[in-house]
Amino acid sequence: MRVMVTGGAGFIGSALVRYLVLERGYEVLNVDALTYAGNLDSLRAVDGRANYRFLHANICDRPSMERAVAEFGPDRIMHLAAESHVDRSITGAADFIATNIMGTFTLLETARAHWSELDEAAKAAFRFLHVSTDEVYGSLGREGVFTEHTPYDPSSPYSASKASSDHLAKAWQRTYGLPVVVSNCSNNYGPYHFPEKLIPLTILNALAGERLPVYGKGENVRDWLYVEDHACALDLIIERGRPGETYNVGGRNERCNVDVVRAICSVLDQIAPANRPREELIEFVADRPGHDARYAVDASKLENELGWRAQEDFNSGIEKTVRWYLDNDWWWRPLRERYSGERLGLPKTAAKD
C-alpha cells in the first residue's frame, strides 16, 4: 500500500504518518511545506525507516505535486495540509484561502490526472481522503449534535475555507468520479500539538507558572478527541469508507473550555505539584470574535458502518497528554522560543495596513 499524506509534519498528520509507517507498515510519502506549524521533530520515530520518505513541497505548486504523484504512484492520498488555527485566520485569512482552497483544488486536479491514467483495477481501488473539521457546520445551541446531514454554516475564515474545500472535494467525486471520501472531525488534542492551541498552551503556561487565558466566560463547548484515535479513524475511513460519503469523527467528550483548563491544572497539580493550585492562574480575556458556542459530533455512522471506537476518553487522554509534555521538553522548548503564547486573532480595527 502506497499512501501519500499531505501535511504530515503537522499535529494530526504526524500522528497519522507514525501510525501508517509503524503500525500498518505502509509505504508513506509525506508532502509538507513546513510552515510554522510543520515540524520534522514530530517524525523522529519514523525518520530513517525504509518505508517512509519526506518531500518538502507546497500543495499549491502543481508541477511539484504532479512530479510527486508520478514518482511515488500512490494508491491513496490522505489530504491534511492546511492552515488550521482559527485565531490566525481572523488576523489574516490570505494563507487560509491559498492553502485550504487553492491547495485542495490543485491536489484534486493532480489526483484526477493520476487516477484517470490508472488501469481499471487500480482506478477502482484508488482513494482520496479529504480531512476536514466539524467547524464547517457552524455553532450548536445547548441541545443537538452535528450529523453528516447538518447544513454547512461556517463562522470563521478558517472554517469557511475548509467548507469551501469540502465542497470542491465532493464536486470532484460527483462530476469526475474521483473516489473521494470526506471526514469531518471534532477538536483534537494529544502529543506534538503546537502550543498555540488551548490544551498545549495551557499545559505549558501552567508548567511555567504563567497566566492561563480563557476566552470570554470559558463556556464554549468542544467535543475532544485524542489524536491517535483520529489517526486510526482516518485509516479506517480511507480503507472502508464509501466514495462520495462523509464520515463524522468525534469522541463524545464534550467539555466547556474552562473545565478543560481546570482538568489540566488538576492533573498537573497531582503529578508535578507547585506551591499553589494552578487554577489560580486562570484569567478570563476578551472573547474570540465569532466564537462558536458549542460543537458536538454524532459519530454513529463511523461507529456503526465501519466499526470505529475511540480508545481514550477525555480523562485518560488528558492525563496521557500532560505526561507527554512533561517528558518531552526537547520537542516543545524550541517552539516556545519562537512562539511564547501571545494573544492572536483580535482583528485590527483599521484596514490601513
Among 293, 316, 234, 170, which Cα is nearest to 8's?
A: 234
- Strands of the sheet with 2-6, listed across from one edge: 52-56, 27-32, 2-6, 76-79, 127-133, 180-185, 246-249
Cβ(89)–Cβ(154) under 8 Å?
no
- Residue for grid cell 480575556: 285
Neighbouring C-beta atoms of residue 234, cutoff 10 Å: 27
**Contacts (CB under 6 A) with ligand NAD, residues 124-143:** 131-133
The minimum distance between CB 60 and ligand NAD, in angstroms, equals: 5
Does residue 134 carry a catalytic annotation?
yes
Other C-beta atoms lying within 10 Å of the C-beta of residue 57: 18
Contact letters for ligand NAD, residues 103-122 (x by CB under 6 A): x-------------------
Rounded least distance, CB 11 to ligand NAD, Å: 4
- Angstrom distance (rounded) from CA 115 to CA 164: 23
Indicate the residue whose CB is closest to ligand NAD: 10
Q: Which of 188, 205, 248, 321 binds ligand NAD (CB under 6 A)?
A: 188
* Residue 33 touches ligand NAD, criterion: CB under 6 A: yes
Shortest distance in whole angstroms from residue 270 CB to ligand NAD: 26
How many residues belong to the site for ligand NAD (CB under 6 A)? 31
Q: What residues contact residue 261 under an 8 Å CB cut-off, 6+ apart?
A: 198, 202, 212, 214, 218, 282
Phi, psi of 295 (to 5 degrees): -120, 140
* Residue 81 makes contact with ligand NAD by CB under 6 A: yes
Of 27, 32, 83, 135, which residue is the catalytic one? 135
Interaction between residue 190 and ligand NAD (CB under 6 A): no
Give least dist CB 13 to ligand NAD, A. Answer: 5
The residues binding ligand NAD (CB under 6 A) are 6-7, 9-13, 32-35, 37-38, 58-60, 80-84, 99, 103, 131-133, 162, 185, 187-188, 194
